[in-house]
Chain A
Amino acid sequence: MLYIFCPHCGSRSQNEFVYGGDATVKRPELNKEISDQDWDNFVYLRKSPRGKHLELWHHISGCRQWIKVERDTSTHEIFKTYKADELTE
C-alpha cells in the first residue's frame, strides 16, 4: 500500500485516496472551437508510461483536496507531491 504525502495533511496511506488519472491532461477551454480529434484526445486518450508519471489523487477520506503526485509506475516510488494549483517541475 502506497504512502502518499498530501501537501495539506502529511503522509497518509493509499486507502484514504482515490486515483484520478493523468495530471497533465488539460481540459479545453469552454466556448472554444475544438476539432473532433483534439476533443477525442482529451476525453479518451491517455498515455500509460512506464516510469515517471504525474498523476492526480483525491484525498477523499482526508482534506478532500485533489493533489498531484509524481510517481514511478513501475517501482511505485513517489518523488514529489503538489497541491492542485501548484506549478509542477
Chain B
Amino acid sequence: MSQDFRLDKIGMVNRNKKISFTFNGKKYFGYEGDTIASALIANGVHLVGRSFKYHRPRGFFGVGVDEPYAILQLERNNERDPNIRATEQEIFEGLEVKSVNCWPSVNFDIGAINNFLKMFFPAGFYYKTFMWPPSFWYKIYEPFIRMAAGFGEASIKHDKERYEHKYEYCDLLITGSGPSGLASAYAAAKNGARVILAEDKPRYGGSLLTSDVNIGNQTGVEWSEKIITELKSMSNVIVKNRSQVFGYYDHNMLVMSERIGDHLPKTQKYLPKQRLWYIRAKEVLISSGSIERPLVFGNNDTPGVMLSSAAKEYMKVYGVLVGKKPLIFTNNDSGYETAIEFKKNGVNPLILDTRKEPSSDIISEAKNLGIEIKFSHVVVAAKGYKKVKSADIAKISDNKKDLSNIENIECDCICVSGFWTPSIHLASQSGNKSEFNEKIDAFIPKKSKQKENTIGSANGKFTLEETINEAFNKGYEVSNNITENNNKVSIPTVVEKKSTEHDKFWCVPLPKGKSYKRFLDFQNDVAVTDIELALREGFRSIEHVKRYTTLGMATDQGKTSNLNGLQLVSDIENKVVPQVGHTTFRPPYTPVSIGAIVGREVGKHSKPTRKSPMHDWHEKNNAVFVDAGVWLRPRYYKQGNETLFEASKREAKNVRKNVGVCDVTTLGKIDVKGPDAAEFLNRVYTNAWLKLPVGKARYGVMLREDGIVMDDGTTTRISENHYHMTTTTAQAANVLSHLEYYLQLVWPELNVNVVSTTEQWAGAAIAGPNSRALLMKLFTNTDVSNEALPFMGYKEADLFGIPAKIYRISFSGELAYEVNVESDYGNFMWEKIIEVGKEFQIQPYGTEALSTLRIEMGHVAGSELDGRTIPHDASLEGLVSKKKDFIGKRSLGRSAFIKPDREKIVGVVPLDKTTSIPEGSYIVKDPKAKLPNPKLGHVSASCWSVEYDNPFSLAIIKDGKNMIGQKLFAMSPLKNKTIPVEIVSSHYVDPEGKRVRA
C-alpha cells in the first residue's frame, strides 16, 4: 500500500530505510524512525480501535504520552505485549500489532451496539447496571464486562526477555529535554554538577523540534542538536532518550524506565529489553512540558479529530499529513502554527477561531499566507462515523451561549487547540501542592516539598524567552548550591513570534434539539452528560466524581481530560476551578511493564542461593536438594530408584546402626567475646551460664520479651572470654540482630562483641554408634575417649594437618560429634570423613533423615518452636532458671502461660502402626463431634520411626502430660483422613538419653 499522506520534503525519519509491519494482519510500510501512529497515518489509516464503553470508532488523538485512544497489542517473537501506545512505539521490521477492544473486528464491532444502547451506560453504570441480582455476577455480568472491556490480553507465557535494575546518584536530575531541560542541563553541567537528562521520546528537543524559533542565531533544532552533542561529550552528564521518569518518591528517589530494546526487532546481545533506574537526586528540575487541551464539541471523539500540536508534529517530525482538508479549531494562537505548517506543505486549512478580533504576529502571518480564518466560529459537531467527513460549524455569540449560521463544510480532519496544560504530575507526586493560575486556566506547581523545581511550560511559562531565561538561571542556581563553582554560561538571545491571549471558552453548547455526545475523557468514554448526571446525583468531591464517572482514570491519568472535567464541574457548581481542586496524581505517569518492575529477580534470582563448601560433593553423589531459607541443603542422597521415603529411611537407619555424616554448615554461628560474655549469655538464655567451664558446651533456649521461644542451640566456651554460639539455620540472622539490640541499646555497659561466623566454619555432624571409632581414626593425635571428650565436651584437634574443632553434641540422639574446620577446608574434611568412614559403613544423610532422627528422639525444632510456644510447651521448662532474670522471664508468669492444662509436646502413634499422620492434623477426642470440633492441639512433625518401624509424630496438645496413654484421633480435613491414635511420650527412642553419653 502506498503512503498517500507522506510528505516528501520534511520530517526526521530515515527515508533510506523502509520498514514493513502488519496491523490487524495487513502489511504496511513506513520508515525507520516512524511510530506505529505516524506510519499508519502515512498510509491513510485512522481507525485503530474501539472505545472502552460504547465501542465507538477510535483513531489517533495525540502524538506521544498524551495519546488516550491508540492503545494496541504488540506481538513480537511469539510474545504478547498489551497496552502499547501507537504514538510511542517505533516500528521495526516484522512488527505485528493489532487492535484491542473490538470483536469480531475493528471495522465491524458487535460492541458498537452499546453505542446505541447508551442510555444503559450512564455515569456509574458499573455500580447501577450490574448490581442485582447478585447471583448474576459470575454467570452474566462478569463475563460480559470481561469480553467487552479491557485493553488487550496479557501473555500467560514466561517472559524470556531480560529486564534490569540500576541504581544511580546525581546532583541534578532533569526530566525532559525540551528547551527548558536542555538549557538547565547545559547551565548545570557547565557549572560542574553531575547531571542526568532524561527524555521519553527517541529525539531530543521537545517543542524545539516543531516550533519556528531561533536561539543564539540558530534554529531551534540546530541549537538543541548542538547542546545535546556537547552534553553527551561531558563526563559529568548522563543523557538518556526513550527514558520516562514516571515516579517521584520520598527523599528525592525517582524511578525511570528506559526502553532499550522495544524499538528493535530483537533485543541486542548483552542488553536488556528495558532498564529501570532508581535515581537518588540531590535536586530535580521538572521540565516535562505541557500537553495541549482539547476543545469539547459534538462527536469530538470521531477519528480524525486530534490535537493541533499533534498534527504539526506529524508533519514536522514524521513528514506525515493527518489530512488533506484540515479544519483548525482553536481558542488561541497555537492552532495558527499548525495551519501555517499545512499551508507550507501545500494544503489549504480553514481556521475557526473562537475569539472575536484577536491580533498578533502569528495571526498576521497566517493572513498574509492567504489562510482562510473565521473568527467567532466554532465546530458544533463532527460528522462521519469511522472518520471525519465533514463538520457542522456555526458562528457563536459574544457571550458564547448562542449558535447561529450553522452550516456543514467538508473536511477530513479537525485539529483542535484549547490552549495548554502544564504536566505537573511529577511535581504533584513529590508532594507539591499546586495552585491554579488564572492566566493560563491551569494548575502549576506551588511550593516545593522535596528538592525539586518545575521549569518551562510545565511551570506555565509559555514563551520561549521566559523558558530559556528561567531554565538557564535555575540550572545555574541549583547546581551552584551543590558545586559552588560559580561558573555561569551566558544566555543566548531568543527570537520567536509573539502571540496574544487565549480565549477561556472551551465547550461548545449544543444546538437546539441536538444531543451530540461531547467527550471529556477519551480513554474512559466520559462525556459531558456523565459529569452532569454525577453532580445531579449528589456527587460533589472531585475525587468522588472521578471514581463514579471514571474521569481521569486508567493508563491515561487524565493527561488530556483532567482540566476540562474540572472546568465543567466548576461551571455547573458555579465555582471556580481552584475551589473544586484536582484529583491526586499518582505514579506511574505512564504505564510501566511488569517485567521492568520485577527486573532480574525472577526464578532462581528472586533470592540469593547459599551453598556449603561441600556442595559439589553432594551434587556428585546424587543429593536431592531442598531450600532451607536461602541455603540449599541435601534432602537425601538417592541410590538407584529410591524414593525420598526409602532413601531417608535407609540413611536414618544407618545412623542408628552404624554411623552417618550430615552437612551442618548452615547452622548459624555467632562468636560472643568479651569479659562480660558470660553475664550476657546469662541474660539472653533461660538457663544458667555463669559457671560453664572452658571446653564445655551447653544447650540453651532464648526467649523474646513476650515469653515465646525465639531460638535454641548449643553454645560452647572456647576460652575464658570467648563463646561459640550456634543457632538454628532459620533464625541465625534474627538472633544476631537480637543480640546486637541488647548490647547496643539496652545494656551498653556490658563489654561484649558479637559477630556472625556462620560462613567461616564448615560443619559435619558424625552420628551413630560407630562415630567414636571413626573419630579415633580421623584424629590420631587426639584423645577422643569418653573420659577425655565426654558428652557436651569440646576439643581442638588436628585433622591430617588441618586445625579442627570437635563438639560432642547430638541432635540425632546417638553418640555424635560435630566437627568444624575453616570453610576452605570443608571439602577436605568431608572427603576424609567419607574415606576413613568406609570401614564403619558410613553413609551421608540429608535433612529428611535428620528430621526423622530428631523427631523420634523428641528433640524440638522449628515446627515446634513456631512463634507460639513457651519453654513449657516444648518440655523445656527444666532449662528455665528460677533464680536469675533473663529476657522474657517476666512474661512467663502470664495467666495463660501458667494454666494447669497448658499445651505440651507429646508423641503420637497410629493404632494400626501403619497409617502416617499428616503434619498439621488436629488431635480430637471424638471425630464425630458436632462442628466446630473442640481441638486439643495439632501434629507438628511426622516421620517413620526407624527404631520401631512404624509412623511416629510429635504433637502439641492441651494438658499433654496427662494425655499420655489416651486413645484419641488425628483428623486432617485437608487430606480427608481420621486416624485413631495413642498418645505417648515425645521421647520415643532412648528416653533416658543413654546413647548420647555412651
Interface residues of A (CB under 8 A from B): 1-3, 13, 18, 20, 27-28, 30-31, 34, 39, 42-44, 56, 58, 60, 64-66, 75-76, 78, 84-85
Contacts and interface: CB of A to CB of B under 8 A. Distances in A.
A66 B705 contact: no
Contacts of B737: 18, 58, 60
A34 B167 CA distance: 50
A43 B892 CA distance: 12
A1 B251 contact: yes
A43 B249 CA distance: 34
Nearest to A38: B890
Interface residues of B, number: 25
Given A42-B705, A43-B891, A76-B250, A1 B741 contact: no
A84 B885 contact: no
A64 B740 contact: yes
A19 B890 CA distance: 25
B372 interface: no
Contact of A27 (B249, B251, B252, B746): B746
Interface in B728-769: 737, 740-741, 744-746, 748
A76 B253 CA distance: 13
23 contacts: A1-B253, A2-B250, A3-B250, A3-B252, A3-B253, A3-B280, A13-B253, A27-B705, A28-B890, A42-B705, A44-B706, A58-B737, A58-B740, A58-B741, A66-B741, A66-B744, A66-B745, A75-B431, A75-B449, A76-B251, A78-B251, A85-B744, A85-B748
Given A18-B737, A58-B737, A75-B431, A65 B890 contact: no
Contacts of A44: 706
Contacts of A65: 740, 744
B891 A39 contact: yes
Contacts of B740: 58, 64-66
Nearest to A30: B885
4 closest residue pairs by CB, A with B: A3-B251, A30-B885, A84-B744, A31-B885
Given A1-B278, A30-B885, A39-B890, 17 more contacts: A1-B249, A1-B251, A3-B250, A3-B280, A13-B253, A18-B737, A30-B683, A30-B886, A31-B884, A31-B885, A42-B705, A43-B706, A66-B745, A76-B251, A78-B251, A84-B744, A84-B748
Residue of A18, A56, A78, A84 most packed against chain B (CB within 10 A) = A84
A65 B249 CA distance: 26
A30 B705 CA distance: 12
B250 A1 contact: yes
Contacts of B891: 39, 43
A68 to B, nearest CB: 9
Nearest to B706: A43
Secondary structure of the A side of the interface?
A: loop
Given A30-B683, A31-B885, A2 B744 contact: no
A66 to B, nearest CB: 5
Residue of B252, B280, B741, B745 most packed against chain A (CB within 10 A) = B745
Interface in B225-269: 249-253
B895 to A, nearest CB: 9
Nearest to A39: B890
Contacts of A42: 705
Contacts of A56: 745
A13 to B, nearest CB: 7
Contacts of B706: 43-44
A48 B210 CA distance: 54
Nearest to A4: B251
Contacts of A27: 705, 746
B705 A43 contact: yes
A79 to B, nearest CB: 13
A87 B318 CA distance: 65
Contacts of A30: 683, 885-886
A64 B755 CA distance: 10
A57 B745 CA distance: 12
B569 to A, nearest CB: 29
Residue of A3, A30, A39, A56 most packed against chain B (CB within 10 A) = A30
B416 to A, nearest CB: 40
Nearest to A29: B885
Contacts of A3: 250-253, 280
Contacts of B249: 1
B745 A2 contact: no
A30 B737 CA distance: 20
Nearest to A26: B746
A13 B744 contact: no
A87 to B, nearest CB: 13
Given A1-B278, A31-B885, A58-B740, A84 B253 contact: no
Interface in B833-855: none
Given A1-B251, A13-B280, A60-B737, A34 B744 contact: no
Contacts of A66: 740-741, 744-745
A76 B251 CA distance: 8
A26 B705 CA distance: 13
B82 to A, nearest CB: 29
Given A31-B885, A42-B705, A2 B251 contact: yes
B344 to A, nearest CB: 50
A34 B705 CA distance: 14
Interface string B422-435: 00000000010000
A87 B167 CA distance: 34
A72 B280 CA distance: 20
Interface in B869-918: 884-886, 890-891
A63 to B, nearest CB: 11
A3 B370 CA distance: 60
B815 to A, nearest CB: 38
Contacts of A78: 251
